[in-house]
Amino acid sequence: MLVLFLYSFFENGLGSSSVAYCSCSAFDSHSLSVFILEKIWASCICFSDSFLAPVSGEMKILAEALILVFLCIFLGSEHRICHAFSSNYNARTKCLIEPEAAQDGGGTIDNPDFTHGMDGWTVYGQGAMKEDISRNGNRFTVAYNRTQSLDSISQKVQLRRGLIYSFSAWIQINKGSERVAVVFKIPRTELIIGGRVLARKGCWSLLKGGIFANFTSHAGILFESKNTATEIWVDSVSLQSFTLEQWRAQQEKKIDKERKSKVRFKVTYGNGTAMDSAAVSLEQTRSEFPFGCGMNFHIIDSKDYQNWFASRFKYTTFTNQMKWYSNEPKQGQENYTVADTMVKFAQQNGISIRGHNILWDDPKYQPEWVKNLTSDELRKAAEKRVDSVVSRYSGELIAWDVINENLHFSFFEDKLGKEASSKYFKRAYELDPGTTMFLNEFSTIEYSNDEDVDPISYMKKLDEILSYPGNQGILAGIGLEGHFGVGQPNLAYMRSVLDILSSTGLPIWLTEVDVVKEPNQAEYLEQILREVYCHHAVQGIIMFAGPATAGFNATTLVDKDFKNTASGDVVDKLIDEWRTKPTETKSDGEGCFEMSLFHGYHLNLKLSGAFPVFVWSEWQAKCCKSTENNGIAIFQRHMICLARPQKDNYEGGILVNPDFRRGIEGWTVFGNGAMREGVSKEGNMFIVAYNRSQPSDSISQKVQIQQTNLYSFSAWVQISEGSETVDAMFKTTHGEWIRGGSVIAKNGCWSLLKGGMAAHLSGPVEIFFVRHAGVLEVRKSKVRFQVAYANGTALSGAAVSIKQTRSGFPFGCGMNHNILTSNAYQKWFASRFKHTTFTNEMKWYSTENERGHENYTIADAMLSFAKKNGIAVRGHNILWDNPKMQPQWVKNLSPRELRIAATRRTDSVVRRYSGKLIAWDVMNENMHFSFYEDKLGRTASSEYYLRAYQLDPRTKMFLNEYNTIEYSKEILASPVNYVKKIKEILSYPGIKGILLGIGVQGHFSSGPPNLVYMRSALDILGSTGLPIWLTEVDVQKGPNQAQYLESILREGYSHPAVQGIIIFAGPEVAGFSATTLTDKDFKNTPSGNVVDKLIAEWKTRTLKVIADGKGFAEASLFKGDYNLIVEHPATNLLTRLRFKDAPPKKKNSPFPLYPLWNLKVAKHEDSTWIILWVKMWRLDEAKGHCREENKKLVRKKFEDRGHSFE
């Protein structure tokens, strides 16, 4: 039962005036959304003490400590940045009707905005210049009658050695669109390009760039357009000089703004009183920003290299080991041994990997056998390569460099057509949709003179790829290699390039940073790393550097003895500098303390002091995880439970009847169940949701929201028993569920649930509540026995021993053909699991590898083993919608031939195993793929569900999909789309009555699982009322694999809609390489220990309870089968029974109670009814207690009630 009172849903419009220093931004691959917190909280400095009202009645002064954390510590997402840009970081790609004023007042430029006509400006080359004035009175200069590309206006400036010059100007042309560059003409030196812009007719574009002066000389500033027929219009010119020290100071300021946040904490007692002089120590455990290093094959055999790398870096790119020429040096002979070994090392040490690369467009770097292939041969070979490498590492990497350096080179385009790159991006995306796909190029930020890869060319190529049909959903990224040559890097030009590329809204990574050997290498490396780290759009850096022993000759970080070089010292210094140091401080008189923290995943916080009864354990700060909650920021953890709820915030805001003074007006039931009014002893009115069968069954109200507005939400919540998490949810018209806050609600007092949402759309949303029961409530029941003689007389003092013989929850494991030949595998499996899925042996390509030659030998033998050992089997699968996973002979069948073959396959496998299995995965992964729909029509899946149902009507038919619970950005198989697919199948003619089930595979990466998203996904799927199974759970190898596996299994097991879990894991000798439970000697791995621990934990241990004076005994039992022994020493009574603890078959219809000879079953107060199915009972005949009359009596009482005794 869920009790709620005093709602508030308050709307805040977003406007620039409301931006405070506590603003935070959520940055994803396609957009930049700013969440404004100011209007939710009255102050960004400290929570108001009035927020924590005193608890009524007596309380110990030091009963509870509460830390309220606000502002934004951006934790756990590489996409989070602060909303603040200095003028030097504004790169406008939009064209403005009027130009903005010159930056820095023009700096060293004379007459920068032409308010004094053309003073200070001359003509360079041929042509002419003139003044012009816009309709709004803005003055600018026009270069016209041009005959050479450099014919333009010019101004001489004095450059000083060692200074950085930042340049900007607003440019327009008189027709079309053309590149315009700023050029610095130095006497006796080549022309130096300072930056470019794509200028247009009719509006002004910002040209940004700069130059580093390694000389002292005057220089002419010119403008270049290769189309001499165009006029170049110029306005608001600026050239500002900086010393290296000034530039460094600006970098530090940007780092403080972009990579750190000011956080203010308040420490209070439970009654809200500030805790003065509380000693606080804080430590960062992991940096958010990916700063990594390249790795090569030498790491496999070098412990020194392994230790050096793992102690510093958590991100890497393999320099060559994933490239085509490394994996397939001879045609048809693929070898991933080295790459696999490196992946294993990385995962074991928690190191994330960028995939480098799928294909390389440079003709020199193809495998030798590829270079002379015909176009058709190349197309087939390249497609095979893409499928091979991407499928092999799908879900294991954080990025793919898809077509390497395809602005400089065009090997595949020249042979396969200009859309070749776009097609391979599409294919990689189809195979690994959750991974970011990068362009990867050199010279984009390193050199200003390379027009092929300047920001304009880069963005044009990017647009070409993303506009290709089918590529709109790609998670795209910008990869800039960063191979720097001799000499001072042009930091101003670098910054301008990053500014321009950041306008795409895509993540930028520096992917291969190195600096050639020279006396100033370490100094230049530090400048480059600081410049990119301080830029808001850069979301990761990988250096192509390392130990001398591993062959890193350009940028060597350690010598052969693993002692740092000067460049190595720079890297270690920055790793240390870019993380929060362990800090100790004390709260002030108001209980507040403030820190400036680098963004990171966890901040371990310890609180201590000279308090007589106060003990504080380690606490992990997690705040403002907006990307993890679909745009929701949960701002506080309120731990006070009040006897009376407080007045609603903002008088309810936009909610109707927020305090229920008008009964239930404005409120409806969400899902099943019912609602009623309630009144406390003090006259307080509230509403109660009861008779709930799903976690989301509650009350609801629809409200209208406006896109970009921020909504603050609050409600006081109580539950009828125990304590459980209650979430506020918002359901959109698209079926999306957005979590808007949570609280641990309790029985007997009111808890404040606070949160909100940032609206990403306009329209109605439905507010409702989800109560998440704990494991004990979901999987256990209270059972009360009464031991009595047949005449009903209670037998006090009887001992009831209870032993569970089989779990009621199906927790099983995948099984493969290796079990048929391994006694050790058989014993290991049968001693643990009673449910299984064959990983491949029932699939079509396993049972009919050649057309017309069916072979079920292996599947039959495995089924025989399972039956012999009491193991229930899920049928996996009838058909698979993935084109790659068809038998080879099926792939090229005509539609008519395919229909006949697929129908024959369905009939064959389902008839063979009809009635022998507990489930069928009918059409595997038919939301990600559509092999049958594409060939047979859009109802193909539904047709085969109908056919399977007709052949095996009593077996559950499952959809089975991946990424539904694993990946929050999933689109194709999102929970909402999954529900749509269910409705589509159930609406197909003739399918009514099918026992349908929801299969979610659960293939998790090596990173932390998003349990919040997983729970919300299960909530949405659970709202269908259909049984959910986690069908193929595994976790990729990594240092925290066992921990993450346990978290996932516990989350699934605790959800009431989940009715079974199968893990796709097992012994090493059986080839389970992702999640291995035992080694080759069948000794547990850490993941194996987790599984064994949970099997034991989720089972009632043998226990004995003593009947009281009325013959009653009580126990809390997991669902399952039990042996029960009733003994009484005084009467020599010994009774053995078996029963099943299971929920009632029908809601609100408890099973009748039977006076079963000397055992009665009673309903315990406040518990659900328990059915005790009598399977077998007998007495010790030697004692004379087994009488046939008793058996007849029991049989008669069953049959009198219309039930079969058997």
CATH architecture of the domain covering 2-37+623-773: Sandwich (2.60)
Instruction: Report CA dihedral (826, 831, 836, 839) to the nearest 10 degrees.
Output: -40
User: 587 and 276 in contact (C-beta within 8 Å)?
Assistant: yes
542: nearest Cα among 320, 310, 305, 353: 353
**465, 476 contact by CB (below 8 A):** yes
Residues 1038/1007, Cβ–Cβ less than 8 Å: yes
Q: What is the pLDDT of residue 346?
A: 95
- Rounded to whole angstroms, the Cα distance separating 840 from 1106 reads 50
Residue 442: strand, helix, or coil: coil
Pairing between β-strand 710-719 and β-strand 780-787 as defined by DSSP bridges: unpaired
CATH code of the region 98-241: 2.60.120.260
Considering just the CA atoms, what is the radius of gyration of the chain in Å?
35
Q: Which tokens is 1011 given?
A: 């349990």
pLDDT of residue 798: 82
Longest distance between any two alpha carbons in the chain, whole Å: 124
The span from the CA of 197 to the CA of 1193, in Å, is: 96
Is residue 405 annotated as a catalytic residue, yes or no?
yes
**pLDDT value of residue 583:** 81
Query: Are the CB atoms for 488 and 519 separated by under 8 Å?
Result: no
CA geometry: angle at 558 spanning 554 and 559, to 5°? 90
Torsion of CA 309, 311, 313, 317, to 10 degrees: 30
What is residue 123's DSSP assignment?
Answer: E
- CA distance linking residue 984 with residue 980, whole number of Å: 6
Given the residues 11, 396, 446, 512, select the one marked as catalytic.
512
Contact, 726 vs 2, CB < 8 A? yes
Cβ atoms of 896 and 937 closer than 8 Å: no
pLDDT tens sequence across 570-628 = 999 999 999 988 888 888 877 788 888 888 754 555 555 433 222 222 233 333 223 33
**Which one, of 882, 716, 817, lies nearest residue 1071 by Cα?**
817
Check residue 629 and report its DSSP letter.
Answer: G
Q: Residue type at 1044?
A: Y
Residue 692 in contact with residue 771, Cβ under 8 Å? Answer: yes
Span(s) in the chain for CATH 2.60.120.260:
2-37+623-773, 98-241
Compute φ and ψ for 1113, nearest 5 degrees.
-135, 145
Q: Which fold has domain 810-1097?
A: TIM Barrel (3.20.20)
The count of other CB atoms within 10 Å of the CB of residue 1133 is: 19
Q: What contacts 24+ positions apart, CB below 8 Å, involve 973-981?
A: 973/927, 973/928, 975/737, 975/1016, 975/1017, 975/1020, 975/1021, 976/734, 976/735, 976/736, 976/1020, 977/927, 978/927, 978/1020, 978/1021, 979/735, 979/1020, 979/1021, 979/1023, 979/1024, 980/735, 981/926, 981/927
Per-residue b or e along 1039-1054, where b marks 16 or more CB atoms closer than 10 Å to that residue's CB: bbbbbbbbbbbbbbbb
Is pTM, for the whole model, over 0.85?
A: no
Distance CA 727, CA 305 (A): 48
Q: Count CA atoms closer than 13 A to 832's CA, side-chain side.
A: 29
Is residue 512 annotated as part of the catalytic site, yes or no? Answer: yes
pLDDT score, position 190: 78
Q: Helix H segments across 394-477? A: 411-416, 420-431, 455-466
How many helices and strands, by DSSP H and E, does the chain display? Answer: 23, 62
Q: Tell me the one-letter amino acid at 16.
A: S
Tokens of 917: 């299995």
Asked if residue 138 has a cis previous peptide bond (ω within 30° of 0), the answer is no
Order of strands, sheet of 780-787, starting from the edge strand that comes earlier in the sequence = 1112-1118, 780-787, 1159-1162
Q: What is the dihedral of CA 1006, 1010, 1011, 1014, to 10 degrees?
A: -100
| Bridge partners (DSSP) listed for residue 137 | none
Q: Which residues contact 1069 (CB under 8 A, 6 or more apart)?
A: 818, 822, 824, 825, 1080, 1082
Q: CATH 3.20.20.80 in the chain, residues?
A: 291-577, 810-1097
CA atoms within 13 A on the CB side of 875: 27
The CATH architecture to which 291-577 belongs is Alpha-Beta Barrel (3.20)
| Residue ranges, the chain, pLDDT below 70 | 1-93, 268-274, 601-640, 648-650, 708, 710, 758, 772-777, 790, 1129-1206
Q: Report the amino acid identity of residue 621.
A: A
Side-chain-facing half-sphere of 133: CA atoms under 13 Å: 6
CA distance 321 to 297: 7
Task: Note the pLDDT of residue 627.
Answer: 31
CB 660 within 8 A of CB 688: no
Could you tell me if 475 and 437 are in contact, meaning their C-beta atoms sit under 8 angstroms apart?
Answer: yes
Of 11, 78, 224, 405, which one is the catalytic site residue?
A: 405
Beta bridge partners, 282, equal: 583, 605
For 853, which DSSP code? Answer: B
Nearest to 381 by CA among 342, 408, 416: 416
Residues 1128, 1106: Cα–Cα separation, whole Å: 10
Would you call 850 helix, strand, or coil by DSSP?
Answer: strand
144-to-97, 132, 168 alpha-carbon distances in Å: 21, 12, 21
